[in-house]
Amino acid sequence: MTSPAERRAHVVGLGLIGASVALALSERGWRVTGEDADADVAGRARATGVVAEGDLDATVTLCVVATPAGAVVDAARAALAAGSERLVVTDVAGVKASIVAALDDARFVGGHPMAGSERRGLEGARADLFSGCTWVLTPTEATAPATYGFLHGVWRDLGANVIAVPALDHDRLVAVASHVPHLLAGALMNEAADAAEQDAVLLQLAAGGFRDMTRVAAGDPSIWPDVLFENRAAVQASLAALEGRLTRLRRALETGDRSALSGDLHSAALARRRLPGRALHPEELAYLRVAVSDQPGVLATVTRTASEALVNIYDIEIAHGIEGTSGTLLLAVEASRAAEFADALVARGFEVGRE
Amino acid sequence: MTSPAERRAHVVGLGLIGASVALALSERGWRVTGEDADADVAGRARATGVVAEGDLDATVTLCVVATPAGAVVDAARAALAAGSERLVVTDVAGVKASIVAALDDARFVGGHPMAGSERRGLEGARADLFSGCTWVLTPTEATAPATYGFLHGVWRDLGANVIAVPALDHDRLVAVASHVPHLLAGALMNEAADAAEQDAVLLQLAAGGFRDMTRVAAGDPSIWPDVLFENRAAVQASLAALEGRLTRLRRALETGDRSALSGDLHSAALARRRLPGRALHPEELAYLRVAVSDQPGVLATVTRTASEALVNIYDIEIAHGIEGTSGTLLLAVEASRAAEFADALVARGFEVGRE
């Protein structure tokens, strides 16, 4: 939809993610400028060609805020105020609810690329960091479908598997899938380190399983307090649930309740073996067409309906006519749940067709 | 010390470990017979040449009890009663204190090879399973140095890194390094499975770290209740300590105590980065010679002294004269702790020299 001349991006924050976005967009023909709170970093990014000279001017159509989570809202507000009507602003922070709640603008959609690297900062950046990664977008009532559609296309062009999830669900899910596992790995490593202080031979007994479980604890710890405090409600709830599970396992050992122990270990083994290696295969997906008006709120309603119906949306495309007053959403969902989801959408007043 | 004609072993229990021991010993010229509580398994082991026809007769010098932990004591007692004076009996169970306490015989020493495999049972057996693995031996007051020295040589000949640890320490350490991590992986997987039931997109957000942390939970769960109940005291203590750590992390989030959170994550990162990849390099070891009488109890005193002095014994060799009334232990310890350990041994009345 944007002509080559319009492919202008500006990145705020040139750490690992921001600089990788800049490199990836440049590789695809975008002109990318950037800034960083650290003038040294910004200088090195320009000197090494990661970003070009320039500011967030009126030609910029995409501004990516890649600052630490605590600085996102201010940076995004500044970009929305400085940019044109056509500007789309997004962020890449690991927590979303508090950020998207503070940015009530049709031109903004929150995002979180689930990409990591052993390396950190500008020097760790790679143009292919997002290839194959899951990139979550969290549209709200305020988000214009055109904003979402544009950004979806850009990130998919970088090789990402883009999915839409309500921001609160995102935060709850990353608490379970990422934040609490990180705390757990740290607690286990500290427990072992204390034991090893009494008996260094422990370190020889720490075989593959222990190494696997504590590997993430070796990562740069400085980014975590921010992330954890930003997502504290979800992390606290998930930690409390896990403490409860461990207490029940300990009680089962105390009382000799072999069946409780055995049941828990069996259900965990089943669940772990079912964990998909990657995204679903295309043949496991079904596509629904949903006629929508180009009104803010429509994407949030669709994703909330999916969440309530326990259906996972693997992809949302804006099929056509999105610049006008109506359009069509093309939704990819698990084939086995497609009929149920279509019913739920019809019950909300949507017109739904099957591809 | 044993002539080729005397290299006769008998394996009780032909699962993964027992059958792998049989294959590894056969490859090194031993004649290996075996038995299994399951007549089908025993038949297949003989038919496929894993073990030869024959019983625990008077020519057997090594009996390896590789049954489930709960059956070890009875099987080992039967072997000690049936075997000759020269017979050495050992086991391979994952818990040691209760077993070695019940087997008060100079010809017995408990053991635990820290080797695992994705495969299970007789059909998963491999002659090279123990190459490079840590093999713990747990000599007691009752164990004759000759018994220990013989077994140490046999397992080292299979490529194992043999270390001596008091049985109670072993159990406490595997609780931290293996049993509790397994329970933790299971609890985390179950927590995530419950969340995924409400929102299947979780499975897409479960990236590398989560996969690493839950990998061990996919293993065969049927062996675990036995192992956990056998080691219940140590597992309960370690689980309780870990619950306490998680509760403190949750409180730190609640009260906004950033420095507590940050301190825990930093110490975990440091400890994880220090986790040695494998055993120490030879140049990091120092060797002490300790003159000992060939009396039961001497090995237990030496290993207990090491444990109390926070020194890890990487190797114990019986240098010579062990069949007589006195001999020399050659102890490999961390070079940085060698002087301190020598002092601790001298304080116990040992005569200590440095290699």
Interface contact B136-A238, CB threshold 8 A = no
On chain B, the residues whose CB falls within 8 A of the CB of A187 are 242, 245-246, 249, 264, 268
Question: CATH code for B170-274?
Answer: 1.10.3660.10
Q: Write down the CATH superfamily of domain B4-165.
A: NAD(P)-binding Rossmann-like Domain (3.40.50.720)
Judged by CB atoms closer than 8 Å, whether chains meet at B250 and A243 is answered as: yes
Architecture (CATH level 2) of domain A182-274 = Orthogonal Bundle (1.10)
Q: Where are the domains of chain B?
A: 4-165, 170-274, 283-354
Cβ <8 Å between B239 and A249:
yes
Collect all residues with Cβ–Cβ distance below 8 Å to A202 and sequence separation of at least 6.
A192, A195, A196, B173, B176, B177
What pLDDT score was predicted for residue A323? 45
**Same fold across B4-165 and B283-354:** no
Say which of A177, A212, A225 has its CB closest to residue B205: A177
Of B178, B187, B271, the CB nearest to A193: B271
Neighbouring residues of A38: CB distance < 8 A, sequence distance ≥ 6: none
Confidence of residue B116 (pLDDT cuts 50, 70, 90): low
Percent of chain A surpassing pLDDT 90: 57
Q: What is the pLDDT of residue B277?
A: 54
Q: Give the SS3 label for residue B125.
A: coil
pLDDT tier at B196, thresholds 50, 70, 90: confident
| B279 closest CA partner among A189, A212, A219, A207 | A207
Q: Which residue of A has its CA nearest to B165?
A: A201
What CATH superfamily is the domain A4-131+140-165? NAD(P)-binding Rossmann-like Domain (3.40.50.720)
- Which of A130, A169, A213, A236 best tests the B interface by mutation, with the highest count of B CBs <10 A? A213
pLDDT at B133 over 80: yes
* Interval B296-314 mean pLDDT: 78
Percent of chain B with pLDDT over 90: 57
User: Per-residue pLDDT for A316 more than 50?
Assistant: yes
User: What distance in Å separates residue A213's CA from the closest CA in chain B?
Assistant: 4
Which of A130, A246, A312 has the highest number of chain B CBs within 10 A, making it the mutation to test binding with B? A246
Query: What's this model's pTM, rounded to 2 decimal places?
Result: 0.71
Interface test with chain B among A190, A226, A231, A259, by most B beta carbons within 10 Å: A190
Mean per-residue pLDDT over chain A, rounded: 87
Task: Compute CA A127 distance to the chain's CA centroid, rounded to the nearest angstrom.
Answer: 18
In chain B, which residues have their Cβ closer than 8 Å to the Cβ of A209?
A: 116, 178, 181-182, 185, 215-216
Strand boundaries in A226-312, DSSP class E = 285-293
Question: Which pLDDT score is estimated for A280?
Answer: 53
pLDDT surpasses 50 at B229: yes
What are A259-280's pLDDT values in tens digits?
999 999 999 988 887 776 544 5
Name the residue among A214, A217, A249 with its Cβ closest to that of B187.
Answer: A249
Q: Which distant-in-sequence residues (6+ apart) come within 8 Å of A269 by Cβ?
A: B186, B217, B218, B219, B220, B221
- Chain B CB contacts of A266 under 8 Å are 221
Instruction: Tell whether the model's pLDDT for residue A3 goes beyond 90.
Output: no
Residue A354 near residue A329, CB atoms below 8 Å: no
The one-character DSSP state at A217 is: G
The alpha carbon of residue A303 is apart from the nearest alpha carbon of chain B, in Å, by: 12
User: Which residue from B182, B187, B268 is facing A209, i.e. has the nearest CB?
Assistant: B182
- Between A200-204, B143-147, B183-187, the lowest mean confidence (pLDDT) is in A200-204
More confident residue, B30 or B301: B30
Least confident of A149-158, A335-344, B34-43, B55-64: A335-344
Q: Is the pLDDT of residue B282 over 60?
A: no
pLDDT, greater one: B216 or B171: B171
- What pLDDT was estimated at residue B276? 65
> Are A216 and B221 within 8 A, CB to CB?
no
Contact B215 A209 (CB under 8 A): yes
Q: What is the mean pLDDT of residues B295-317?
A: 77
- Going by pLDDT thresholds of 50, 70 and 90, the confidence category of residue A286 is confident
d(CA A138, CA A136): 7
Statement: residue B210 has pLDDT above 60 = yes
Q: Distance between CA A273 and CA B215 in Å, rounded? A: 9
Q: In which band, very low, low, confident or very high, does the pLDDT at A319 lie, cut at 50, 70 and 90? A: low
Contact A271 B190 (CB under 8 A): yes
Comparing B316 with B39, the larger pLDDT belongs to B39
What is residue B24's predicted lDDT score, i.e. its pLDDT?
97
> DSSP of A80-132, one letter per residue?
HHHS-TT-EEEE--S--HHHHHH---TTEEEEEE----SS-TGGG--TTTTTT
Is pLDDT above 60 for A5?
Answer: no
Look at B217 and A178 and tell me if their CB atoms are within 8 Å. Answer: no
For residues B302 and B18, which has the higher predicted lDDT (pLDDT)?
Answer: B18
pLDDT above 70 for A1: no
pLDDT value of residue A201: 72
User: Which CATH code fits A284-354?
Assistant: 3.30.70.260
Q: Which of A182, A241, A265 has the CB atom closest to B209's CB atom?
A: A182
Least confident of A103-117, A314-328, A337-351: A314-328
Instruction: Give the C-alpha separation, A341 to A320, whole Å.
Output: 22
Q: With the C-alpha atoms ordered A65, A69, A75, A79, is the resulting torsion angle positive or negative?
A: positive
Cβ distance of A191 and B269 shorter than 8 Å: no
| Option in A190, A218, A228 nearest B253 (CB) | A228
Looking at every residue in chain B, the average pLDDT score rounds to: 87
Q: What is the mean pLDDT of residues A64-91?
A: 95
Q: Do A209 and B249 touch (CB under 8 A)?
A: no
Q: How far does the CA of residue A64 sit from the closest CA of chain B (Å)? A: 21
Assess whether pLDDT exceeds 80 at residue B101: yes
pLDDT band (50, 70, 90) for residue A197: confident
Contact between B266 and A211 using a beta-carbon 8 Å cutoff: no
Whether B4 has a pLDDT exceeding 60, the answer reads no
- CATH fourth-level superfamily of B283-354: ACT domain (3.30.70.260)
